[in-house]
Structure 1
């Protein structure tokens, strides 16, 4: 274990350069050209360090996914990462301020992806044999609910003994994640009737007014005691100020602790009734990721990580969090799943998104030793 940590400390500057190389290839989920360009940089790193590239899984709408195999064995450890980000191109820039390194998607989760590459590179360079084969998935659409990669993740999970997720640990505590809320995503299309706002206002049926009433109702479903939150995160509609708007769309995100609550809210949202006569409503979307519930296998996996972390001088804790990840999918397929094994920092989905450079060797060593001990 000492040689692993020493190796990573010696190569810390190169790891940081690789993180910069990936972060500077901006990759918003909805821009295939950019996410594919970022994916090519991952391929270049894999080829440089291992002598071969990942299998590229082509997609039409989103970026192409990457599947990289390392090592041999009858059993498989699945590493889950994504290289898409929530940031539009030009929103943030890469910069260094002392121990803090800033950039779009650096914490969520490009630094974690690079740390995973180096966790495997340690084994390659130090000739440390693995007990199991590694399947390393790098997907391009996690931030929008994994619409094209979900089936791929579930397929790989079926043949895996463990799933390790390279999302960042809990901000502030560095805790690993053994539980996550489930999430659902909806878009609600509302159609009304247009009319002149001055001459024929009574003849119009406002889709925006309907949207407002639906928003108030939906937000009222939030119940903090249950751990249920409903967030209307986007609103679009109308156009000309002198026209009663005949269309509007609202985007809704739901977070829950239990599958029963997720199903209950799914039924309510898909059964929304208009408040105004003459309005039509169409609901798109549905339940996206089921809750990731703490269980005996995830506890066992965490306890192993905690013991290994102690040997590295880290006091590791576990946590239940409101955000979802692709780990929700693997956990609900019965695969022992441990999340939060990526880079340490702050500012997920915020303009101060950054990682702590000093934590790179520790967290990379933890991931490497965990892989070796499974």
Structure 2
């Protein structure tokens, strides 16, 4: 399989088909159109396709219900961060060894590459066809907005898998796979104060903005960068007019943690915040949306296997722990998980988003071998 042939022009045509169906997370019908195309590819390969609660689709290749061997689980998502009409300013285009467009790198090329890997496996009839236990693919609709509808299906599938391969892209502008991810938390702090005229009766007011300002400093002081814990107040909304003591203010807070213990510490501290002014009431919502994907021995074994396969294929892969979350955060505490097995490139969520055509085939060959050998 090291000399496996790939039709790059056909891969590009399939990628273009997905990219030119714009699929922002908030438009379930548009996301569903991407899923319909992918389901067509899966059925052509003889997959059993199921629609799961929450909009996730499951494709099973050579998986025996109740069989002795558990399948390898592949995770992918059909949604992107890009709104409709992004193609007008970021069209799908090929420039040299790079292919640009919204959702190319994150992660429609990962979907396309997976199906070329699956086609290669199906064609290995002389070697027994599908690998032992088979391959199960989950295509989810809402990864970019926290996987609220798909998390249950992801975790259930992981409990039945012997390993999980996530086809999110590798680390930007490299061959490096992702062997750990920080946990991600989202919090909203809403301060309810007392409005009054800022000139005539300021003493009757209780400023929600003043309490929010104190909270910004208190919350961000919870960060421990040396432990991988970061805290950022990214949005502030408050006040009604410049001459009114503000009765409302809202803070939106992003938290990233490398360990569950740190996540619990920060979560408890944020929920324990109290305004200094007793007339101001504070509501705290939120918590850890994704647990940390902690780098552990099971992932290390998968990563070592990927390194050995890559060397056999003639290239080197590194391994990094990254700050962004993925659906691999949900599976890592349940089953051995390796992330970053999609298409190399750069520019996730940015105007220069692209895939490296000179590197992409190598990573499809790597994924194919992993599916065969894990």
Q: TM-score, normalised by structure 2?
A: 0.90
Shift of 1:371: 0.5
**1:276 match: secondary structure:** coil
Where does residue 345 of structure 2 map in the other structure? Answer: 345
Residue 81 (str. 1) matches residue 76 (str. 2):
yes
Alpha carbons 1:72, 1:130 under 8 Å: kept:
no
Q: Give distance in 2, aligned partners of 1:357 and 1:120.
A: 19
Q: Give distance in 2, aligned partners of 1:276 and 1:94.
A: 53
- CA distance 1:266–1:118, change in 2 (3 Å): same
Where does residue 11 of structure 2 map in the other structure? Answer: 15
Q: Give distance in 2, aligned partners of 1:278 and 1:40.
A: 54
- CA distance 1:35–1:244, change in 2 (3 Å): farther
Shift of 1:77: 0.6
- CA distance 1:42–1:204, change in 2 (3 Å): farther
Alpha carbons 2:63, 2:136 under 8 Å: kept:
no
Shift of 1:298: 1.5
Q: TM-score, normalised by structure 1?
A: 0.90
Shift of 1:175: 1.0
Shift of 1:197: 4.7
Deviates more, 1:50-59 or 1:103-112: 50-59
Cα deviation code 1:262-299 (max 9, x no counterpart) = 11101001111113332211111112222222222211
Residue 72 (str. 1) matches residue 70 (str. 2):
no
Give 2:103's match in structure 1, choosing from 102, 105, 128.
105
Where does residue 92 of structure 2 map in the other structure? Answer: 95
Deviates more, 1:164-173 or 1:33-42: 33-42
Cα deviation code 1:17-69 (max 9, x no counterpart) = 1112112222222332332233223223334x32567312243xxxx211111
- CA distance 1:110–1:240, change in 2 (3 Å): farther
Q: Give distance in 2, aligned partners of 1:253 and 1:230.
A: 6
Q: Give distance in 2, aligned partners of 1:88 and 1:228.
A: 31
Where does residue 293 of structure 1 map in the other structure? Answer: 294
**1:358 match: secondary structure:** coil
* 1:307-318 alignment, distance < 5 Å: 307-318=308-319
Deviates more, 1:277-286 or 1:149-158: 277-286
Alpha carbons 1:23, 1:94 under 8 Å: kept:
no
- CA distance 1:261–1:241, change in 2 (3 Å): same
Alpha carbons 2:19, 2:92 under 8 Å: kept:
no
Q: Give distance in 1, aligned partners of 2:45 and 2:178.
A: 30
**2:254 match: secondary structure:** strand
- CA distance 1:216–1:364, change in 2 (3 Å): same
Alpha carbons 2:174, 2:344 under 8 Å: kept:
no
Cα deviation code 1:230-277 (max 9, x no counterpart) = 122223334445544332322211111221111110100111111333
Where does residue 26 of structure 2 map in the other structure? Answer: 30
**2:225 match: secondary structure:** coil
Alpha carbons 1:180, 1:324 under 8 Å: kept:
yes
Q: Give distance in 2, aligned partners of 1:27 and 1:211.
A: 36
Shift of 1:195: 3.6
* 1:88-167 alignment, distance < 5 Å: 88-91=83-86, 93-96=90-93, 97-127=95-125, 128-167=129-168
Alpha carbons 2:116, 2:364 under 8 Å: kept:
yes
Alpha carbons 1:20, 1:94 under 8 Å: kept:
no
Q: Give distance in 1, aligned partners of 2:114 and 2:239.
A: 46
Q: Give distance in 1, aligned partners of 2:208 and 2:34.
A: 40
**1:188 match: secondary structure:** strand
**1:265 match: secondary structure:** helix
Where does residue 252 of structure 1 map in the other structure? Answer: 253
RMSD: 2.1
Equivalent pairs, count: 364
